[in-house]
């Protein structure tokens, strides 16, 4: 049996900002030092991001439309974790539903066909949660198997894919709905540090849903299948990236050492996963690399000697959406799949046999998986 990737769909909340508008919002805040304020325009301009999305209108800069922050440019009193999580409970189910509905439709399934649902998120909590919301609003079975993967960060879609693969390999009837949803913009912090300024400059909101099914060879032939996943925890790197719950939201720590540390371990990581399937890097036809930031893609491209074509999709998703945490890799995979389908429709011969997807998160950890056309 093969774990076939049937469809991917994406969704974003309604408030779309240019990166220059996001920078202007930061510059209007009144609690930043001249030193940090001076750095903001270049940090935002050099991020590789043109647009980002938010579930709230506040970042548009109109004090009269603020719904999370108080209507003053000190943004005080600072919104509590409770108030931010209330916004999450309101808005996360909405975009999760949009993505899930579209994924089911694109897979040419009906809601009643879905046997398992996996929810991935690290930017909020509620119970009953998004899984219950989707069951009720999609019309899924009330006896459906449910799994929640929480608080794992940017690489968590891979943990979801791995769980879906395990389900499909153990259940020949499995049709799994995987939904990743993050509202990173709810956890914007006004902290007078360079680290926080960079964090504020790159994260965004989005959701993505994928359908994975268990198929015999006759039904899977010619389709893209999840073949294998591989995880690596890098020793003694816990302090380089963290995501903790504070009184004023979820607080992120992000070291500038992250790209160097991750990229330093990638060659051996890739060798381990590819050796298991008798492949080399030259056998890979596509790469889906999580754009934690522009620099990590650039360093990975340099160290692994990848062509511009191999990293173009990661750069493009970063440019159009920013870093949405866990859904981002599914946005990239959707773009790759859509381009492949367009080439097939135009009768263009395109190699699409083996592909790798990668992301990086707290730990530090590297998560990835191998896709192969059956």
Cis amide prior to 262 (ω within 30 degrees): no
* Residue 358, SS3 per DSSP: strand
- Distance (Å, whole) CA 163 – CA 111: 20
Look up residue 363 and give its two tokens.
């730990």
β-strand partners of 2 = 215
Angle, in degrees to the nearest 10, between helices 194-202 and 34-45: 30
Between the alpha carbon of residue 135 and those of residues 51, 178, 257, 330, 348, the distances in Å are: 32, 13, 42, 22, 40
My answer on whether omega of the bond before 128 falls inside 30° of 0, hence cis, is yes
Which letter does DSSP use for residue 31 in this model?
S
218-227: burial string, b at 16+ Cβ within 10 Å, e else: eebeeebbbb
**Quick check: bond before 77 cis, omega within 30?**
yes
Reading the block at residue 243, the tokens are: 């995501």
Residue reference for tokens 């509590």: 80
241-246 vs 224-233, strand pairing mode: unpaired
β-pair partners for 5: 212
**Which residues in 272-348 belong to E strands, given as ranges?**
286-289
Question: Which pair of tokens denotes residue 122?
Answer: 């690290």
Residue 66 and residue 261: Cα distance in Å, rounded?
A: 39
The backbone torsions φ and ψ at residue 172, rounded to the nearest 5 degrees and listed phi first, read -70, -15
Altogether, the residues listed in the chain come to a count of 374
Are 214 and 174 in contact by the 8 Å Cβ rule? The answer is: yes
Catalytic residue set: 154
């Amino acid at each position: 049996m093969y774990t076939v990737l049937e469809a991917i769909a994406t969704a974003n909340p309604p408030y779309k900002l240019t990166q220059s508008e996001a920078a202007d919002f930061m510059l209007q805040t009144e609690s930043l030092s001249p030193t940090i304020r001076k750095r903001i325009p270049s940090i935002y301009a050099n991020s590789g991001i043109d647009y980002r999305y938010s579930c709230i209108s506040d970042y548009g800069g109109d004090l009269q439309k603020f719904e999370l922050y108080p209507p003053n440019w000190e943004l005080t009193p600072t919104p509590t974790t409770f108030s931010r999580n209330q916004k999450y409970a309101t808005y996360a189910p909405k975009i999760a539903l949009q993505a899930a509905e579209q994924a089911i439709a694109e897979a040419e399934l009906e809601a009643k066909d879905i046997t398992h649902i996996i929810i991935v998120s690290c930017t909020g909590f509620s119970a009953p949660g998004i899984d219950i919301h989707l069951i009720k609003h999609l019309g899924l079975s009330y006896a459906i198997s449910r799994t929640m993967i929480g608080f794992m960060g940017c690489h968590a879609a891979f943990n979801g894919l791995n769980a879906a693969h395990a389900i499909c390999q153990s259940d020949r009837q499995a049709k799994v709905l995987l939904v990743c949803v993050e509202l990173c913009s709810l956890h914007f912090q006004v902290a007078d540090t360079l680290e926080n300024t960079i964090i504020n400059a790159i994260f965004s909101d989005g959701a993505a849903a994928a359908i994975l099914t268990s198929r015999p060879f006759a039904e899977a032939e010619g389709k893209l299948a999840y073949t294998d996943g591989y995880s690596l925890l890098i020793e003694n790197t816990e302090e380089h990236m963290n995501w903790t719950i504070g009184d004023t939201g979820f607080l992120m720590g992000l070291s500038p050492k992250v790209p160097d540390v991750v990229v330093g371990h990638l060659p051996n990581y890739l060798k381990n996963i590819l050796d298991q399937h008798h492949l080399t890097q030259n056998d890979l036809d596509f790469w889906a690399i999580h754009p934690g930031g522009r620099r990590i893609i650039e360093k990975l491209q340099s160290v692994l000697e990848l062509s511009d074509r191999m990293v173009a999709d990661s750069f493009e998703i970063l440019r159009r959406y920013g870093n949405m945490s866990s859904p981002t890799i599914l946005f990239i995979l959707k773009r790759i799949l859509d381009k492949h389908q367009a080439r097939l429709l135009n009768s263009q011969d395109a190699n699409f046999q083996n592909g790798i997807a990668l992301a990086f998160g707290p730990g530090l950890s590297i998560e990835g998986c191998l896709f192969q056309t059956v």
